[in-house]
Structure 1
Amino acid sequence: MLLKGFYTVEKLEKVSEGKYLAEVLLNRQHEIFKGHFPGNPVTPGVCMMQIIKELSQEILGSPLFMASASNVKFMALINPDKTPRLQLELEISGDLNSEVKVKNTTVFDDTVALKLTNTYKKA
């Protein structure tokens, strides 16, 4: 985990071939929220992208590095004081020996917060 203590994986399960569902709990007391932003914490988009990478690595059992990101859409602010629990759907395809494509939708309550497609290569 790049940011120690930033979040906890509460659930990570395979739903069907190549499709996974994860539930993470953000640590609203984490140091990053003191600066982003004081009095109105917002989860940085780059941190959300890192969570997706780390979940993908756990699923695949291999370190990855991001080769490209496309269709990245931040659709709602994630305030850890109001909505610390996030559900992430991951659809993983490709060959770990070349490139792996990960499509993600992140939601809280009934709100879509993030949609993206990342391409990773084995590190």
Structure 2
Amino acid sequence: MQTILTDFYTLESYDKAENGSFVANISLNKDHEIFKGHFPGNPVTPGVCMMQIVKELTEEFTGSKLFLQSASNVKFMAIINPFETPDLIVQLDINETEDGIKVKNTTLFGETIALKMSVHYKR
């Protein structure tokens, strides 16, 4: 898998449902350089990095190189501290259409929802 977030996270495993949905288990690298600046002594996973993870996983699961066309209902609902909650569940409902790929995402750690969003990618 090609990623711009080199060594930021690891795709540990994933399951695919018949309806095109995926559930991916990822682990954040708490020692990554991003966390040294965001924020020293109180690391927080940047929202833009979470959005990039969703894009990269969608690319991996669809086999397509994608470009973000639009995002709606982006809700960051909990802080993801890589030292406290490095293991995340990324749920992706992927629908391929004539004009691209639509994804509904929910990202969780444990039972806590950290991110919900809907995105539309172009190929």
TM range (shorter): over 0.9
State the distance in 2 between where 1:44 and 1:63 align.
Answer: 23
Secondary structure of 1:57's partner? helix
Aligned counterpart, 1:114: 115
Larger mean CA deviation between 69-78 and 16-25 belongs to 16-25
Query: Which deviations, in whole Å up to 9, do the C-alpha atoms of 1:75-95 show, x marking residues without a partner?
Result: 000000000000011001132
| Number of equivalences | 121
Q: Which of 58, 61, 70 lines up with 1:59 in the alignment?
A: 61
Show CA shifts across 1:17-54 (max 9, x none).
11110010000000000000000000000000000000
Secondary structure (helix, strand or coil) at the match of 2:17 reads: strand
Aligned pairs for 1:25-40 (under 5 A) are 25-40=27-42
Ranges in structure 1 where 5+ consecutive residues have no aligned partner: none
**1:3 maps to amino acid:** L
Q: 2:45 aligns with which of 43, 46, 61?
A: 43
Q: TM-score, normalised by structure 2?
A: 0.96
Equivalence for 1:99: 100
Displacement of 1:69 in angstroms is 0.2
Percent identity of paired positions between Structure 1 and Structure 2:
58
Match of 1:19 among 18, 21, 25: 21
Q: What TM-score do you get using the length of structure 1 for normalisation?
A: 0.96
